[in-house]
């Protein structure tokens, strides 16, 4: 198959640090290439995905000029012998393609704008628009208005070193953006309450509200002994961090659409303790590869019970459900079915 894949052009594919969607796109490209498919990627100019790259840009404040410029570019896909087009970016950027016979896949990694979903479904040619969601939590928001499949995000299991056993005094880890919705301060509270060490890794977003959160609710507790903040980490550092911790904390205060970092931790054999929000209960099988909690008190109790979790079961979860191989096979099947109905 000849496949066009689009991603918003603000972050390269693959990303060096932050960039969950771009990481998934890179994994998908590698899987599809291994199956012999011809991939063209529309993305950031610094992308190095190992396939043909078409560079495009858009302003940080997306406007009508971006819409026109990018659609002039993507409309050409319809005349270049592609079998299917798949976007992980703005659906606006393939607006003209909706009117063509070419099958189209739109993947949502965040809650959808349902007004756009409904409009696109109405104008698309011959019902050849397919949606995917990174979790059932996201898919449920779409299925009333359009055909949608859940295809979970994945990781390349071979890139994560499984660690069957860690010391009983191994630290807890918080890995993610340092902001209120991610629950960094709650992770500190849990570490303090369980007398456990905590390593915090991740970037602090530049917006003032996030800087204020860090300075007032996180930084005062960093003592470089019990509570450490090590900043953003690259893939090598992340691997080392996750495989050597007792558990990873996901005390999110928003509905997490998926949370790739959970799959990364599980691939290392590290159980996850998270709140019952969004897709967390789809990734964390309570009592098997971690614990799903309703309250901070539940999370504190879960830390004390974490040694009951088999780290081998954590790894097995990823191999069976959240691997790059599974992801690639599911998208390939979707593509073939869509093309067959063309």
For the chain, the average pLDDT equals 95
Provide the domain count of the chain: 2
Statement to judge: residues 139 and 172 lie in one domain: no
**Alpha carbon of 111 to those of 28, 156, 258, 282, 326: distances in Å?**
21, 25, 11, 16, 23
% pLDDT > 70, the chain: 99
Statement to judge: residues 143 and 195 lie in one domain: no
Torsion angle of the four alpha carbons 40, 233, 315, 251, in this order, in degrees rounded to the nearest 10: -110
User: How high is the pLDDT of residue 97?
Assistant: 95
What is the extent of the structural domain holding 56? 2-154+323-340
Statement to judge: residues 42 and 77 lie in one domain: yes
Statement to judge: residues 88 and 220 lie in one domain: no
pLDDT band at 20 (very low <50, low <70, confident <90, very high): confident
- Any idea what the CATH number is for the domain that residue 99 is in? 3.40.50.2000
214-267 confidence digits (pLDDT tens): 999 999 999 999 999 999 998 899 999 999 999 999 999 999 999 999 999 999
Other C-beta atoms within 10 Å of 17: how many? 14
Statement to judge: residues 168 and 97 lie in one domain: no
Biggest alpha carbon–alpha carbon distance for the chain? 62
DSSP state of 170: P
Q: What is the pTM of this model?
A: 0.92
Statement to judge: residues 148 and 177 lie in one domain: no
pLDDT band at 60 (very low <50, low <70, confident <90, very high): confident
pLDDT band at 17 (very low <50, low <70, confident <90, very high): low
Note if the bond before 14 is cis, omega within 30 degrees: yes
Statement to judge: residues 105 and 246 lie in one domain: no
Greater model confidence, 291 or 122: 291
Statement to judge: residues 228 and 261 lie in one domain: yes
User: How high is the pLDDT of residue 130?
Assistant: 96
Statement to judge: residues 219 and 243 lie in one domain: yes
Statement to judge: residues 140 and 51 lie in one domain: yes
131-181 confidence digits (pLDDT tens): 999 999 999 999 999 989 999 999 999 999 999 999 999 999 999 999 999
């Amino acid at each position: 198959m000849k496949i066009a894949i689009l991603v918003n052009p603000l972050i390269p594919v693959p990303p060096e640090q932050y960039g969950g969607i771009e990481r998934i796109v890179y994994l998908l490209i590698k899987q599809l290439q291994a199956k012999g498919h011809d991939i063209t990627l529309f993305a950031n100019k610094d992308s190095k995905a190992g396939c043909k790259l078409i560079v495009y840009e858009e302003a940080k404040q997306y406007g009508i000029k971006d819409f026109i410029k990018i659609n002039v570019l993507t409309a050409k896909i319809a005349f270049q012998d592609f079998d299917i087009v798949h976007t992980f970016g703005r659906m606006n950027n393939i607006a003209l393609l909706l009117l063509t016979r070419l099958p189209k896949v739109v993947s949502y990694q965040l809650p959808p704008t349902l007004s756009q979903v409904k409009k696109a479904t109405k104008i698309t040619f011959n019902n050849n628009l397919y949606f995917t969601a990174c979790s059932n939590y996201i898919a449920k928001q779409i299925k009333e208005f359009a055909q949608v499949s859940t295809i979970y995000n994945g990781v390349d299991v071979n890139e994560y070193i499984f660690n069957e056993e860690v010391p009983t005094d191994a630290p807890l880890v918080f890995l993610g953006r340092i902001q209120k919705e991610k629950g960094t301060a709650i992770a500190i509270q849990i570490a303090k309450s369980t007398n456990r060490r905590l390593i915090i890794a991740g970037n602090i977003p530049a917006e003032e509200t996030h800087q204020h959160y860090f300075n007032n609710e996180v930084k005062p507790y960093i003592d470089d002994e019990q509570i450490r903040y090590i900043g953003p980490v690259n893939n090598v550092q992340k691997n080392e961090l996750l495989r050597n911790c007792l558990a990873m904390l996901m005390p999110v205060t928003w509905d997490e659409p998926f949370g790739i970092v959970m799959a990364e931790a599980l691939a290392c054999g590290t159980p996850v303790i998270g709140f019952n929000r969004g897709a967390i209960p789809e990734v964390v099988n309570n009592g098997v590869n971690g614990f799903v909690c309703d309250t901070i008190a539940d999370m504190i109790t879960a830390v004390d019970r974490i040694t009951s979790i088999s780290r081998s079961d954590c790894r097995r979860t990823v191999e069976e459900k959240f691997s790059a191989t599974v992801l690639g096979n599911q998208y390939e099947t979707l593509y073939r079915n869509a093309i067959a109905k063309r």
